[in-house]
């Protein structure tokens, strides 16, 4: 039987549906999965001062903070993705968030303020010591924002719990991040719609997925408005500026954390550079929905074609 549950975690709704032998077993498995997500939130949140991540972000310059194996491993993983994406993904953008007041009403920083924030941006503003799992801040302005990988990492933990309970089929929908495993209720692949970048109620593409995760990143839902200028919440770590609202990126990968990170990175890279990056990868499917002159242009790499549902509005080749 199918058992479903919703919970508000990490600032959004997490919906979980699983196939279980009994309702009691399904509820127990889902509760443990939700507990895993809560643990990830308590570890990673930068919206509260009592998390382990906040403890590092608030440490004095040069102070070595010994981290738990889980957090140290995640930060090292994020650092590797920073290199893999050429800096398009970099979670150490806290100084830029502050400069643009992305967690407040928003503001336009001066050239000097932006330059100072850029100087405090990047994972190279943190020193890692693998032997002791210690991390030190090298700038008083530097801090790590886990929003670009936290939900993906939490989904990975939740899936581990569900599988520990012997759950073989299910779907987790976590605010733009979807993870599916096993067959759907009808025994086939899961059909997952990808919304139009700016008309969120309108599906633009449908994907057929199984045993993988899809993450969509865009600039249409989270933003601040300053002097009539709409500023999306995703910042380019390389320039320090908000990413232009050109469309959205959906990344499909076996690992939900990878999908989460890649969708953010390619949004930063933009449609042309993002597609070039994706075309070099056969382990991740990438869909770009580009709003251009009132039209929606769809592009994707070869690895996405196995997931794409072709209908009258979509032809192979983009």
Cβ atoms 266, 299 nearer than 8 A: no
In terms of domains, do 76 and 24 share one?
no
Q: Report pTM.
A: 0.94
Which contiguous run of DSSP H or E holds residue 259?
helix 256-269
- 65 phi and psi angles, rounded to 5 deg: -110, 115
pLDDT tens-digit map of 39-84: 999 999 999 999 999 999 999 999 999 999 999 999 999 999 999 9
Q: Is residue 273 part of a domain?
A: yes
Cβ atoms 134, 67 nearer than 8 A: yes
Across the chain, mean pLDDT equals 94
pLDDT band with cut points at 50, 70 and 90 for residue 219? confident
pLDDT tens-digit map of 242-285: 998 899 999 999 999 999 999 999 999 999 999 999 999 999 99
Q: Is residue 58 part of a domain?
A: yes
Q: What is the CATH number of the domain that holds 203?
A: 3.10.520.10
Helix, strand, or coil (residue 148): helix
pLDDT tens-digit map of 176-208: 899 999 999 999 999 999 999 988 778 899 999
In terms of domains, do 61 and 196 share one?
no
Q: What average pLDDT does range 104-129 have in this prediction? A: 96
CB atoms within 10 A of CB 22: 10
Helix (DSSP H) and strand (DSSP E) numbers for the chain = 8, 15
**Hey, which bits of 24-102 come out as E strands?**
65-66
| pLDDT at residue number 221 | 64
CB atoms within 10 A of CB 84: 16
Q: Which domain holds residue 106?
A: 52-144
User: How many folded domains does the chain comprise?
Assistant: 2
Q: What is the CATH number of the domain that holds 107?
A: 1.10.3980.10
In terms of domains, do 153 and 140 share one?
no
Residue 227 pLDDT exceeds 80: no
What are the structure tokens assigned to 297, written together? Answer: 């242009």
Q: Is residue 47 part of a domain?
A: no
In terms of domains, do 102 and 169 share one?
no
Q: Which of 92, 109, 144 is the last residue before a domain boundary?
A: 144
Residue 231 pLDDT exceeds 90: no
Cβ atoms 90, 84 nearer than 8 A: no
In terms of domains, do 167 and 288 share one?
yes
Residue 318 pLDDT exceeds 60: no
In terms of domains, do 117 and 252 share one?
no
Q: Is residue 139 part of a domain?
A: yes
Sign of CA dihedral 222, 244, 48, 4: positive
Q: Is residue 250 part of a domain?
A: yes
- pLDDT > 90 fraction of the chain, expressed in percent and rounded: 86
- The closest of 300, 132, 282, 287 to 214, measured between CA atoms, is 287
Q: Which of 126, 144, 162 is the last residue before a domain boundary?
A: 144
């Amino acid at each position: 039987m199918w058992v479903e549950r919703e919970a508000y975690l990490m600032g959004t709704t997490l919906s979980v549906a699983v196939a279980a032998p009994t309702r009691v077993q399904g509820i127990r498995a889902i509760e443990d999965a939700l507990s895993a997500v809560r643990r990830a939130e308590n570890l990673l949140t930068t919206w509260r001062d009592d998390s382990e991540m906040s403890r590092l972000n608030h440490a004095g310059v040069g102070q070595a903070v010994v981290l738990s194996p889980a957090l140290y491993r995640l930060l090292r993983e994020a650092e590797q993705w920073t290199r893999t994406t050429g800096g398009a993904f970099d979670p150490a953008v806290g100084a830029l968030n502050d400069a643009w007041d992305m967690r407040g009403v928003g503001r336009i920083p001066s050239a000097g303020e932006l330059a100072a924030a850029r100087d405090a941006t990047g994972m190279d503003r943190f020193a890692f010591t693998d032997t002791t799992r210690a991390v030190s801040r090298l700038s008083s302005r530097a801090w790590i924002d886990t929003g670009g990988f936290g939900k993906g990492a939490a989904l990975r933990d939740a899936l581990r719990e569900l599988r520990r309970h012997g759950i073989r089929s299910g779907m987790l929908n976590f605010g733009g991040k979807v993870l599916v495993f096993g067959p759907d209720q009808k025994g086939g692949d899961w059909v997952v719609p990808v919304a139009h970048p700016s008309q969120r109620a309108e599906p633009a593409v449908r994907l057929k997925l199984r045993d993988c995760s899809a993450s969509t990143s865009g600039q249409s839902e989270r933003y601040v408005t300053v002097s009539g200028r709409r500023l999306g919440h995703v910042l380019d770590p390389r320039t320090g500026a908000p990413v232009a609202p050109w469309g959205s990126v959906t990344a499909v990968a076996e690992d939900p954390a990878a999908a989460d990170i890649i969708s953010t990175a390619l949004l930063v890279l933009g449609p042309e550079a993002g597609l070039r990056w994706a075309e070099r990868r056969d382990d991740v499917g990438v869909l770009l929905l580009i709003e251009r002159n009132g039209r929606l242009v769809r592009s994707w790499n070869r690895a996405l074609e196995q997931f794409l549902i072709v209908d009258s509005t979509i032809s192979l080749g983009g």
